[in-house]
Amino acid sequence: MATKAKQLKILIKAIWVLNWFNSCGFAELVPMVGSRWDMERFGMIITGTPRHADVLFIAGYQTLKSIERAKRIYEQMPEPKVVLALGSCTMSGGMYWDSYNTVKRLSDHLPITMYIPGCPPRPEAVFEACGKIFQHVKEM
């Protein structure tokens, strides 16, 4: 196991990100892919399939139906996998907390690595979280 961690430490140049957004959650990450922040410049590359993803970004409120799809996506990701939950909706249901169909805490359904607070969270906070992921992999 130690040699695999060393190989991973040498090979890590970028993290591949899969986005799972509901409702307004997409608006939270749009500035990151634009020219001002340009997440690819910092080593975060969007992938279209969970089978290649290292990190799953989940943003916006989740319904009981959508959380089942998110679980399926999580199960398809290879190890080691990281889940970043963006915004207050993933922590407490946000402004939809009293809805019968809204998931109140995402951590009841998926193993969340890190929550990023805010409504919406600032791009700086997302970059800081991804920086911590890079640091964690280097220390393996």
Tens digit of pLDDT for each residue in 7-34? 444 455 678 888 888 777 677 677 777 7
Query: Can you give the pLDDT at residue 74?
Result: 95
- How deeply is 126 buried, as exposed, middle or buried, from its count of CB atoms within 10 A (0-12, 13-18, 19+)? buried
Query: Can you give the pLDDT at residue 12?
Result: 56
Tell whether pTM > 0.85: no
- Sketch out the chain's domains with CATH numbers: 14-139 (3.40.50.12280)
Task: Check if the beta carbon of residue 50 is closer than 8 Å to that of residue 18.
Answer: yes
Task: Return the percentage of the chain with pLDDT > 90, whole number.
Answer: 20
CA–CA gap between residue 73 and residue 37 (Å, rounded): 27
Query: Can you give the pLDDT at residue 3?
Result: 52
